[in-house]
Amino acid sequence: MTETALILVDVTNSFFQEGMPNHYPAAADVLEPIRQLLEAARASRRIVVHAVERHYPGFDDYEWRKLPRHHLIGDPDQPIYPGFEPQGTREILIGKRRYSAFFATDLALFLHEQQVGRVVLAGVKTNVCIRATAQDAFANGFDVVVPREATNSNRPHLAAASLEDIDRYIGAVVSLALALEMLK
């Protein structure tokens, strides 16, 4: 497996639009790096996975035991942030109900079938959904790359600790420039 894919995690209105349930001001800092990664992946015809939380309205969800209700299908916080929507035949949308884009989805199966061996992860929040996705990508046999400029959190100390753990135990935390090269 030699292909590289880009996985964008929760690039949704909820985190990037003011007034939405998960918005935090620093989230906007990752939009330009994510845009650069997306443009590079598209230019090289890499697979792009848009992994977004989607919960069913009117039904219980185990996640509600730890978090307030959010990302209900049809609510304004759930759609992909404008300008980052899937385009063309090399991009897919994966709905997830937990932090990881791999847990209880067919993402690993799909990527293995496409001969993907390395994933570049970008999005929010480093210490929650990025870390969980990185952990499960590693557990599913993928080389994990996280560009440090393309993820952050409203808890910077936890984001820093998560990046340290990802780099030490799971994959590689690299510069945006190096991640862009990997997508070419």
Contact 114, 5 (CB under 8 A): yes
Angstrom CA distances, 134 to 8, 72, 123, stand at 12, 24, 12
From 40, 129, 163, 174, the catalytic residue: 129
129 included as an active-site residue: yes
Residues with a catalytic annotation lie at 129
